[in-house]
Every structure is written in structure tokens, then in C-alpha cells.
Amino acid sequence: MCGTCGCGDKNGPMLTMFSEDGHYHELGEGRGLHHEISEGNIHHHHHEISEGNVLQNHHMHGEGNVLHQHIGDSKVLQLEQDILQKNQLLAERNRGYFTAKKMFAINLISSPGSGKTSILEKTLNDLNKDIPCYVIEGDQRTLNDAIRIKETGTEVIQVNTGQGCHLESDMVMSALQRLDPKEKSLLFIENVGNLVCPSMFDLGETNRVVIMSVTEGDDKPIKYPDAFAGAQICIINKTDLLPYVNFDVNKSKEYALRVNPSLKFFEVSATSGEGLDKWYGWLKEKLT
């Protein structure tokens, strides 16, 4: 098993794509590419212990940005390397791809059941006649969401993460190569339903959208601040249920603004369609 991500493990991510006739094809593991950037920025060199600056068999020297310190037979490598550097590098590659293709890519994050897929279905039904849209669906298991998206006539690829609790940039890169999206298109990346883990992993998206629904607690933003801190947009869904639930919209916005004072809000109901016009307006504005 690969030490980085578990590729080669049966629990690794699996990509599935649908053909025109509605059949689907498992495309195998979604992580064929991550080994390309395996060198990182660490250099190696051969070192002679007999240099003039040896002091009691213990010295430090620098080459590039890596310092080596030798103590007896062992040596200390001063790495200062970001742990998520590999994910970040591939995220930047994805971002470059989106820029080159003049695409607008959205990473949708929320807890399970807040209505990510419902908002997407409605959005795609209303927009994909005018704008080329694509979807990357992330779930631990099943093709259920991809099947729902496929029914809107949108090209979709399902990434099943197995045990994984979030999407990573290499999975998005593999999915993109299969999707081969058109220029000036909209890409929705529906992350695994989880308000914690996906926040840490940049996928290279143009904007990050966090969704909460009025059937959740209005203190979600301060309970799960990381998800709100990294987003540009917050959608408050299921507003048609407001008369029946104890959810204070203003309070939830106030909490969210404490975490991220730049956050912009859309209050919508994917069921009734209320408020979606403003969301569509924002998407269209971003594409032009």
C-alpha cells in the first residue's frame, strides 16, 4: 500500500463515470497521478564529514533551504516542509487548469443532509441549458448522488472515497482528466458530507461555498468554524421550513460573520426555488 494515500488498498478512492446511454463505468482508482510530484522540494546531497567546520563531530550547514546537522552517525534534516504540501501543489495545478480554461469551479462543503445535492439538482436543471456544467460528486459510498445529477442531463463523475472523509486535489485532478470540461464552464465539486475534514483540503477551486440548513442549529458557524473561515459564500438552505423550526437566520449570519467577516450569504429553498435567482445571478456574474 502506498504510504501517502493508501492507493493499492481496496478502500482507496474509486471514480465512476456515466456514458450517454446511462450505463456507468468504474474507472478504477482515482489516484494514479499523485506520484508525479513525489520529489517535493527537498534536495539531497552527499556530504563529506571531513570538512573544516566540524566541531566535536557535530555541525550544521545549509544548502538551498535544507539544513543538515550531524550528531554521531545520525543527522538532523531541517525540513520545514508543509505536511499538506502535496495536496497544495496539485490544488494549484487544478487552479491553473481552471484559469486556462476560463472555468469557474466551486467546492461545496456542508454536513450530510443540508441539501447540497438538492441545490445542485435545481441549479443544474435551471442553468445547464445556457451554461455548460459539470459535477464531481464525492461520497464515501454509492452512486446515488451521481445518478440524481445524471438525471438533470449533466456530465458527472462520482468519486467514492471509501473510508476517506473528504476529497483531495489529486482525486479532482483525475476526475477532471476524465470529464474533459469545455471552456467557460461551471464545475461543481460536491465534497463528502462533512463540515470538518474537507475544510483543510484545497482542491484548487475558484470559490468555496459552505451550506447550512435551517433544520440544523444556528450556531453551526461557531461550532465548526474552519468550514466557514475558508469559504467565500454561505448558502442557508431550506428556508421554506423556517416557520416550523427554531432557527434564527440573523443570529446564524452574525455567528458566521464573526468567523469570516467577508462571507456573502444566499438564503434559498431548493424545494420551493425561493432565493435561487440571486444564487444564479452570482454564478453567472462569476463566469463572465
Partner 1 sequence: MHEMSIAMSIVDIAQQSCDKEQKNSVIEIGLEIGELAGVEMDALEFIWPVAVKGTVLENAKKTIDRPDGKARCMECEQLYPIHNHYDNCPECKSYFKEIISGQELRVSYLEV
Residue nearer to partner 1 on the CB measure, 114 or 199: 199
Among positions 3-32, residues that touch partner 1 (CB under 8 A) are 3-6
DSSP string, 124-179: HHHHTTTS-EEEEEEESS-SHHHHHHHTTT-EEEEEE-TT-SS--HHHHHHHHHHH
Nearest C-alpha neighbor of 128 from the set 164, 158, 156, 152: 152
Contact status: 86 vs partner 1 (CB under 8 A): yes
Among positions 116-155, residues that touch partner 1 (CB under 8 A) are none
Residue nearer to partner 1 on the CB measure, 2 or 245: 2
Least distance in Å: CB of 79 to partner 1? Answer: 5
Q: How far apart are the first and last CA of the chain?
A: 44
Which part of the chain contacts partner 1 (CB under 8 A), choosing from 48-56, 82-90, 138-146, 264-272?
Answer: 82-90
Look up residue 261 and give its three cell numbers: 467577516
Cα distance between residue 256 and residue 199, in whole Å:
15
Which part of the chain contacts partner 1 (CB under 8 A), choosing from 80-88, 147-155, 173-181, 267-275?
Answer: 80-88
What are the distances in angstroms from CA 157 to CA 20, 123, 261?
13, 17, 34
Cβ within 8 Å of residue 65, ≥6 positions away: 41, 80
CB 200 within 8 A of CB 166: yes
Contact status: 259 vs partner 1 (CB under 8 A): yes
Least distance in Å: CB of 273 to partner 1? Answer: 32
Look up residue 116 and give its three cell numbers: 447540497
Nearest C-alpha neighbor of 142 from the set 119, 112, 109: 112
Residues in contact with partner 1, counted by CB under 8 A, come to a total of 46
Contact status: 228 vs partner 1 (CB under 8 A): yes
**What would the x/- binding string for partner 1 be over residues 39 to 78, using CB under 8 A?**
xx-xxx--------------------------x--xxxxx
Which part of the chain contacts partner 1 (CB under 8 A), choosing from 105-113, 179-187, 197-205, 232-240?
Answer: 197-205
Least distance in Å: CB of 33 to partner 1? Answer: 15
Residue nearer to partner 1 on the CB measure, 38 or 53: 38
Q: Which residues pair with 28 in a beta bridge?
A: 15
Among 12, 115, 164, 275, binds partner 1 (CB under 8 A): 164
Cα distance between residue 67 and residue 140, in whole Å:
41
Contact status: 226 vs partner 1 (CB under 8 A): yes
Torsion, Cα 37 39 40 44, to 10 degrees, reads -170
Residue nearer to partner 1 on the CB measure, 11 or 99: 11
Which part of the chain contacts partner 1 (CB under 8 A), choosing from 92-100, 101-109, 146-154, 198-206?
Answer: 198-206
List residues binding partner 1 (CB under 8 A).
3-6, 38-40, 42-44, 71, 74-84, 86-87, 163-166, 168, 196-197, 199-201, 221-222, 225-226, 228-229, 255, 257-261
